[in-house]
Amino acid sequence: MFGLCQNGSLPIKINTIKKEIVLTANIIDGKKIAADIRKEIAEEVALLNKKVGVSPALAVVLVGEDPASAVYVRNKKRACEEIGIRSVSHDLSAENSEADLLKLIDSLNNDKEINGILVQLPLPKHISEAKVLEAIRPEKDVDCFHPVNVGLLSLNKAYLKPCTPAGVIELLDRSGIKIEGKDAVIIGRSNIVGKPAIQLLLQRNATVTVCHSKTKDIGEKCKKADIIVAAVGIAEFLKGNMVKEGAVIIDVGINRNAEGKLVGDVAFDEVSKVASYITPVPGGVGPMTIAMLMKNTLTAFKVQRGIKD
């Protein structure tokens, strides 16, 4: 602010207003990016159908009556329908034995009309998840949980990629965020998210640090990161003071907070004031997982039929 001096001389600065800079991150719209990917897959499926007269098919196996699993399965089947992928449901009651499920997997493995097999987890306690997942033929393992596919991923030879971390990479790419040369911190080392995310980020030439429940000074490590992938499973674990200004934040978490609200692993309100890009929950990584499952089903179909890109 400026005012005239009593002697009529030139105005001088008489007050300085302290300006508080509030950075607001760009929101990465996972819902839109996932819809774009599903549209691209649908177009390719339609083209392939014209060319070879068949569409990819995904067998969706649900064992038991877990309500959350039923919702996940319904969403996956809906995505298949929308894209033109044939979904074939196998709903088994929780009373079925491990042997029953293994028999079903065997018949799906040998069914030439089935390109991908998805077994919804968790399975009832009397069935070994590891045994069932390892029974799926690697080339039909669209979740990418089979040890052969995990190995191929670490050798940088995988054509089927684990859906959630592959979705993370797509979000970064399609938001124009450079990965190469960046310092990336992953919080969480699960087989489904954290560990495969290490491989995928490493393949893109990021320098990767992984944090877990025994890591010291997580805040310090996060504070140095250009990209943070939070897959810890604790509501609003990553706080604003753990994040470097301008960092990119990908929130994989899906949690209910004390009020029962769906929240991620990132304290969105405070972190979004520091970050340059951030994914919301819901509407960030979540929709990408199904989109990448559809992509894997299409890839499996093409590989099995010897169709080149």
- Annotation marks residue 120 as catalytic: yes
Residue 309 DSSP label: -
Q: Does residue 121 touch ligand NAP according to CB under 6 A? A: no
- Annotation marks residue 76 as catalytic: yes
Angle, nearest 10°, between helix axes 163-174 and 286-304? 110
Q: Does residue 75 touch ligand NAP according to CB under 6 A? A: no
Q: Does residue 33 touch ligand NAP according to CB under 6 A? A: no
Alpha-carbon distance 98 to 129, whole Å?
9
Rule CB under 6 A: which of 236-295 touch ligand NAP? 252-255, 285-286, 289
Q: Catalytic pick from 29, 77, 141, 143? A: 143
Q: Does residue 196 touch ligand NAP according to CB under 6 A? A: no
**What's the token pair of residue 268?**
């969105």
What is the closest distance, in whole angstroms, from the C-beta atom of residue 251 to ligand NAP in the complex?
A: 9
CA atoms within 13 A on the CB side of 48: 23
Residue 185 host element (H or E): strand 183-187
Q: Does residue 109 touch ligand NAP according to CB under 6 A? A: no
Side chain identity, residue 179? I
Using the minimum distance from each CB to ligand NAP, give the nearer residue, 100 or 129. 129
Q: Which range of residues in 13-21, 199-207, 208-216, 300-308 is near ligand NAP by CB under 6 A?
A: 208-216
Using the minimum distance from each CB to ligand NAP, give the nearer residue, 128 or 255. 255
For residue 75, which of 220, 100, 67 has the smallest C-alpha distance? 67
- Annotation marks residue 140 as catalytic: no
Q: Catalytic pick from 29, 77, 120, 161? A: 120
Cis? peptide before 122, omega within 30° of 0:
yes
Side chain identity, residue 17? I
Q: Which residues are catalytic?
A: 76, 120, 143
